[in-house]
Chain A
Amino acid sequence: MKRRSFVFFTMLLILALVLSGCNWWGKSDSNSKEGSNREVVVGLVSEPDSVDIHRTSSTGEANTPLYDTLLKLDNDGNIIPNLITDYEVVGDGKEVIFNLKKDAVFHSGKPLNAEAVKLSFERLVASSPFSTNAGEIESIEVLSEYSFKIKWINQFAPFFINATTPFLAPLDVSVLNDKGDGFEKNPSGSGPLKLIEINRGDSIVYEPYKDFDWKGQEPGFDSVKFRFIPDEETRILEFKKGNVDVLLNVPYQYIEDLEKDSEVTIKRVPGDVLSYLGWNNKLPIFQDVNVRQAIALAIDRDSIIDNTLNGEAQAVFGPLPKAAFGYSEKIEKMATNKYTRDTDAAKKLLSEAGWNETNKDGVVVKDGKEFSVDLWVDDDPANQRAAQVIQSQLMEIGIKITISVKEAATIIEQTPNGAHEMLLWSFGWPDADVLNFLLFGKDKSKRLHYENEKIYSILEKGAIEMDQEARLKLYEKAQEMLVEESPFVPLYVKENITAIRNFESFEIHPIEGSIEWTSVKVKE
């Protein structure tokens, strides 16, 4: 008996040891921050699915610093040279010649020349879900070591602004295996951070890339660790404890709390992501413009912002956020005047649309059917709270909302088929072409399913108009119509709130909202 149980427990122990590997008392690169190791720990919500920019569907702080972009935005939102030093539009605007910065080098040590950029574009077109960002490319021609020419099938005006995003950033194709895969294991871009290791489910660790242009200075840190902590509460506790130096997307309910701590600095940058209340415009219930306008009039943006986002957002009434090319002060004013909350006007519009009876629950009724719709919202706690406030605001004009929380993946997957009724969702893109390729374009209205031939044609013209002034005019026209038709309710742009501790300097790009790694300097 005794011998047997001894054998048994030894076996169990061995089993466990074998399964556990030899990682018993922690890794050597644990959170200790002694000596010269100036480690920056960044806490963020979710792990990017991949660091391969042609594969990932989640670009963010943890994977984009691998890449340096072709063009850049300055602090006022103007396009400025970066890897591309200058370009020249030739012919009828379907061809552009680009000149590259000389002597740029990938993390792998390979030169970043015209040939490399061409290969990167070819892989983008062949395998990236975001290949539409490059436009419909007919051919790429290498003209010399550092210059190349892209030829499009049609003029593609959004290319230059798209080239400021990491989606079009050059990726070192030479590190891929013969199947064109394997970038995760040996990634190589030309951005400020070079990969050290990926710990799936836990963290990604980078070091500063010494050949990056650090603006004449030494990098102000030795390594960066991105830690993925999905749980809001846990993330905040880790920051409060000092285990995390940079906390991205600070939960709104904790901002006040953190501001009391004198060591903590809160950085606010206006975001470029516009949250909106949308619906499936193909549904009969939303056919009447009075109904759509009534919903817009029932929403009190300030109440949502104050009570669920701690006031850390900017109300938006027009279809585009301020950060996007195509935003117009005039449209924003017009929309604000038209849709500032007025429940009486909303109720009047509803009754004009035939919703003129009210049942015992206070819900408006038409032909014996009550106005009740399902609202989809993702699993972000702040969005769920906003959905509940919207629910109570719409109830005030007699519209009953039920809330369904869906994973973001489900929403992205099922809304193009029109499985939803209403949704609380958002978009962020630096160019007004987003109105075309995502929101209201012909056969491209993925979430809103809005059909309006006039708007289609204006948006299509905007995509190929190479003259900036004329482009702005087109988008202003389109937005005017969108405000009138009210196919969705723009709500607000949340501020990007970052909390930091122990930095001599730390900047966030005011337009792009990303960390400027060249400015980051850890306090010694």
Chain B
Amino acid sequence: MSSYLVKRIFTMIITILGVSVLVFMIIHLIPGNPINHILGDFATEESIRELEIRLGLDRSIPVQYFSYMLNAIQGDLGISYITGYTVVEEILNRIPITAQLAFFSMIFGSITGIVIGVIAAVKKNTIYDQLAMLLALVGISAPGFWIALFLILLFSYQLSIFPISGYNGLYSLVLPSITLGLGTAGSIARMTRSSMLDVIKQDYIRTAKAKGAGVYRLIFRHSLQNALIPVVTLIGMQFGYLMAGAVVTETVFALPGLGSLIVSAISTRDIPTVQGLLLFMAAMIIIVNFVVDLLYTKLDPRIQYE
């Protein structure tokens, strides 16, 4: 176990380093000179030179990379070219919204998904099963931005139940969480169904059945608990999907989170912010997957890593 842990942490660090190189390369491929953008139309040669030195852009790319990473390790991701805030400040300002959004859409997605999946598994091969699975597939197939527009039109504008946009407490997150959670719900429903069917087939369930355990008791006591193990992994994997979905969802609902920040940073060519955000999001995804992996071994005593 501990040697596995060491190995796992090692590959995690390698991956994060690789990601940082990749992000750095992508960012430096972005056409256009940030200097032009910052100084706008009225740049003089002098001011360009000065700014280059101030931003460290006069140094070679490897040097820039190493000094960037050295600072990043110390929690300094640079200063936004545009706003004058540090990138870390910008991220800390906005992370609560994205974290809450991810959390609640995960809750919504898991609960809806598990309920639908259980119904489908219990009523296997009936019309309920087929409807439930069709519904799950619709959740995966529907464009979130499109669903969001009609949720706003119906629930916020016509019925005035939820706020239209912006962030004003958790109430504002209901519609965005539903929008973002739909895809997750679909995936989890499908996973729950198939893993429950797998478990039901297994011997100990048959034994329990033979012993005369009630069907519902059986479902919840034995099969669901075991069936949830792969679902938990899926939840971990969905984290990345949620980060990407947040970009679209936050834009539609005008939520000041990380997703809308990256869109606006890209459109203003705010390189340090884009770079810091990509790095931060990737690191979060890697770490969450790592934690889920560990939890997975804790959850299922049958799984052992050598």
In the complex, A touching B, CB below 8 Å?
yes
Most buried by A among B85, B164, B260, B268: B164
Interface on A for B, CB 8 Å cutoff? 1-2, 4-5, 7-8, 16, 19-21, 23-27, 30-31, 47, 49-50, 52, 55, 57, 129-132, 181-184, 199-203, 227-231, 233-234, 237-238, 240-241, 243, 379, 407-410, 412-414, 416, 437-438, 446
Complex contacts, A237 vs chain B, CB 8 Å? 152, 156-157, 164-165
Q: List chain B residues, Cβ under 8 A from A50.
A: 82-84
In the assembled complex, the Cα of A375 lies from the Cα of B266 at a distance in Å of 22
Which residues of B258-306 have CB atoms within 8 Å of chain A's CB atoms?
A: 260-261, 264, 266-269, 295, 298-299
Say how far B219's CB is from chain A's closest CB, in angstroms: 15
CB distance from A51 to the nearest CB of B (A): 9
Q: Give me the interface of B with A, judged by CB distance under 8 Å.
A: 31-33, 36-43, 47, 82-85, 90, 93-96, 99-100, 103, 149, 152, 156-157, 160, 163-171, 225, 228, 232, 251-254, 256-257, 260-261, 264, 266-269, 295, 298-299
B171 CB contacts on chain A under 8 angstroms? 25-26
Q: By the criterion CB–CB under 8 Å, are A184 and B157 in contact?
A: no
Residues of B within 8 Å of A19, CB to CB, are: 95-96, 99-100, 103
Q: What is the CB-to-nearest-CB distance from B297 to chain A, in angstroms, rounded to a whole number?
A: 11
Given contacts A21-B96, A241-B164, contact A407 B157 (CB under 8 A): no
Within 8 Å by CB of A20, from B38, B47, B85, B99, lies B99
Which of A30, A183, A229 is within 8 Å of B169, CB to CB?
A30
- Check if A412 sits within 8 Å of B252, measured CB to CB: no
Contact B42 A132 (CB under 8 A): yes
Task: Please give me the residue from chain B that is nearest to A234 by CB atom.
Answer: B165
Complex Cα distance, B83 from A183, in Å, reads 10
* CA–CA, A21 and B47, complex, Å: 41
Q: CA of A202 to CA of B261 in the docked complex: distance in angstroms?
A: 11
> How far, in angstroms, from A184 to B41 measured CA to CA in the complex?
23
Tell which of A8, A201, A233, A379 touches B93, judged by Cβ atoms closer than 8 Å: A201
Q: Is the interface of B mostly helix, strand, loop or mixed?
A: helix
**Can you list 26 contacts pairing A with B, beta carbon distance less than 8 Å?**
A7-B298, A8-B295, A21-B96, A26-B169, A30-B168, A30-B169, A50-B83, A57-B37, A129-B47, A183-B84, A200-B94, A201-B261, A203-B166, A228-B254, A231-B251, A231-B252, A231-B254, A234-B254, A237-B164, A238-B164, A240-B157, A409-B267, A413-B33, A413-B37, A413-B269, A416-B41
Give the chain A neighbours of B252 by CB distance below 8 A.
Answer: 231, 234
Q: How far is the CB of B303 from chain A (nearest CB, A)?
A: 12
Contact B85 A184 (CB under 8 A): yes
Q: Closest A residue to B171 by CB, please name it.
A: A26
Question: Are the CB atoms of B100 and A16 closer together than 8 Å?
Answer: yes
A131 to B33, CA, bound (A): 20
Q: Please state if A49 and B95 are interface contacts (CB–CB under 8 Å).
A: no
Complex: A228 Cα to B254 Cα, angstroms = 8
Bound CA–CA A410/B32 (angstroms)? 8
